[in-house]
Amino acid sequence: MSTNTIKAAVIGAGAWGTALARILAQNGHTVVMWSHDESLANEINQLHENRQLFAGVMLPENLSATIDLEAACQSASLILMVVASKFYADMIQKITPLMAPEAILISATKGLDPETKKRTTQIMEDMLPPGLRERTGILSGPNIAREIAAGKPAATVCASRNQYTAEKAQAWFSQPSFRVYTNTDVVGTELGGTLKNIIAIAAGIIDGLELGDNARSALMVRAMVEIIRFGSRFGARPETFYGLAGMGDLITTCSSVMSRNHFVGENLAKGKTLKQILSEMTAVAEGVETTRLVHAIARQEGLDMPVTAQVHAILFEDKPVKQAILDLMTRELKSEH
């Protein structure tokens, strides 16, 4: 537990935002969650529970919720962004004038902006005044929100180009059940958490068709090759993808029945349309939009990303899942390296 307690604003009251807010509050910090949903904010304040997501998981007394963005951000030393990627730029624009002069801004969103194809940290760097850019970072790792909310042990990475920023966030979040590592590779840490969502859809398809552990393992290993290929093109360090924010997150998301993107893949394998699946979900599966964006970037950059290409064909080109798997398995034979 951090000895220096702060006020933290958590922007977004979904599963991941709630789990992280609970950790911060358990560490003694005063936490204010911002939600666009007034009924949810009232539920958190009155019952100290987010029953929509974590029924029976009590939230500490020092955690409150509000729909007033200014009240949430006022005097906050930490602002944690946990909104869907499609809302990210708009929310950054709104909170920038509300931030305290020395506030640190950490992103916990895994996705790309649908209009610009930019990462969340790129959006922050573009939109924030120069003095604030050094106080930004990304939190990413093999972190299933429901498990963390239940107090099960997990580890994560906080990456920032500024070591001080990473270490401050590390101290604020760390506790015996949530171990935080630092890293200076912001691009690799963020892309690891973003690209694995595409592969989780493919893993869900494999599990939905009951193709076995061998197939899933082969998928994850070959997918890591294209994740590294993509990340390296944009300045990421390859070794980052072998750590928690890369391989760690990939293994978890491809294996967990609690993964939203895995859920999408499973249901595609069962014959449901993407429109049907998304209409049944209350949470956002970032991997769907990420697939569209990454596929477009890969084509533009001339990057060979066969798994991403086949997931894109299934999601957006009505390609049968079995045909996509056959096409992957019958590609031209080559050396592993």
Which residues are identified as catalytic?
Answer: 196
Q: 163-173 and 15-26 are packed helices; what angle lies between their axes, rounded to 10 degrees? A: 80
- Name residue 79's beta-bridge partners: 9, 105
- CA terminus-to-terminus distance, the chain: 45
For tokens 């494999």, name the residue. Answer: 206
Q: In what order do the strands lie in the sheet with 104-107?
A: 63-66, 30-34, 7-11, 78-81, 104-107, 136-140, 154-159, 178-183
Cα torsion angle, 224, 261, 240, 308, sign: positive
Q: Whose CA is closest to 294, among 235, 221, 237, 227? A: 227
Residues sharing a CB contact under 8 Å with residue 336, sequence separation 6 or more, in sequence order: none
For tokens 């890969």, name the residue. Answer: 298
Helix, strand, or coil (residue 37)? coil
The DSSP element (H or E) to which 182 belongs, if any, is strand 178-183
**CA separation for the pair 11, 80 (Å, rounded):** 6
Residues sharing a CB contact under 8 Å with residue 108, sequence separation 6 or more, in sequence order: 16, 17, 20, 80, 81, 82, 138, 139, 140
The radius of gyration of the chain's CA atoms, rounded to the nearest angstrom, is 20
